[in-house]
Amino acid sequence: MSTKEILNKNNIPSHVAIIMDGNGRWAAKHGKARIFGHEQGVESVRAAVEAAGEIGVKYLTLYAFSTENWGRPTEEVNALMGLLIQAIENETEKLNKNNVKLGVIGNIEMLPAVVKGKLMNCINNLKSNTGLNLILALSYSSKWEIINAVKNIAASVKNGEIKTDQINERLFENCLTTRGIPDPELLIRTSGEYRISNFMLWQIAYSEFYFPEKLWPDFTKEDFFEAINNYQKRERRFGKTSEQIEG
Ligand code: FPP
């Protein structure tokens, strides 16, 4: 029996975010070049998208390329950009059939024009879909996003649109690239690493963390359901006491 069958349908997180880690180690383990691990990682992306859609997760955010990843060897960066183009070209039709809408967070101006073009095209083609919102974090870093928000708010104060004492959590959230998207209830990072790596620092303030040992290319649909099962056993207190939550 799949773990999917035992999940509580009334407690499915609306937003799951994943730091897909371990592609390079997976490749090394199999005696192959790092890009081979990224290629296998695309299979796990497919599995996670399917699994999320099947159980009614509304938002799935995948950390596909960080600002810091631009510092990797040119060959690997180029190969990752190529994989993105390939994935967009090969998957758009299936995503559409499955009613998936695509979004992106990050500094997409940094992406090569061809990647940005294909991405915007795909987003446009899927824009009327009403199922899972798949969000790719590309050329994303949380500190970049927060600095941008601060700059926008400072400009609004300077030109008199808002007063300093009007700055609050809601206003700040509306200046982030995740505007309108609920914070992730669950953050998964694969590969046994316990780091956040500049990912959604504001948005994960009260997220539950799940750190499976598996490397990303080994992560299956069943692993995704297991992560949800684990999440459903947590008591989310948001700073309150257990008694208050139960009451
Ligand atoms: C981290 O593993 C993974 C990445 C930096 C890239 C993730 C990209 C994909 C899964 C493929 C393309 C994505 C989409 C959405 C189609 P790592 O290279 O840091 O692994 P390591 O820590 O073992 O070296």
Per the annotation, the verdict on 218 as an active-site residue is: no
Rounded to whole angstroms, the Cα distance separating 163 from 23 reads 47
Q: Which residue is it, tokens 């991405």? A: 119
| Residue 87 CB less than 6 A away from ligand 1 | yes
| Residue 102 CB less than 6 A away from ligand 1 | no
Q: How remote is the CA of residue 74 from the centroid of ligand 1, in Å? A: 15
Both tokens of 9, joined, read 């349908």
* In 69-205, alpha helices (H): 74-97, 113-125, 142-158, 169-173
- pLDDT (tens, 9 = 90+) of the chain, 247 residues, equals 899 999 999 999 999 999 999 999 999 999 999 999 999 999 999 999 999 999 999 999 999 999 999 999 999 999 999 999 999 999 999 999 999 999 999 999 999 999 999 999 999 999 999 999 999 999 999 999 999 999 999 999 999 999 999 999 999 999 999 999 999 999 999 999 999 999 999 999 999 999 999 999 999 999 999 999 999 999 988 999 999 988 7
CATH number at residue 129: 3.40.1180.10
Q: What is the 3-state secondary structure (H, E, C) of 48-68?
A: HHHHHHHHCCCEEEEEEEEHH
> Where is 209: in which H helix or E strand?
strand 208-210
Residue 132 lies in a domain: yes
Q: What range does the domain containing 113 cover?
A: 10-141+183-232
Cβ neighbours of 80 (radius 10 Å): 20
Q: How remote is the CA of residue 159 from the centroid of ligand 1, in Å? A: 42
φ/ψ of residue 21, rounded to 5:
-120, 145
Per the annotation, the verdict on 223 as an active-site residue is: no
Residue 154 lies in a domain: no
Rounded to whole angstroms, the Cα distance separating 223 from 212 reads 9
Residue 225 lies in a domain: yes
Domain count, the chain: 1
Residue 157 lies in a domain: no
| Residue 13 CB less than 6 A away from ligand 1 | no
Whole-prediction pTM value?
A: 0.97
| Residue 106 CB less than 6 A away from ligand 1 | no
Q: Which atom of ligand 1 is nearest to the CA of 91?
A: 16
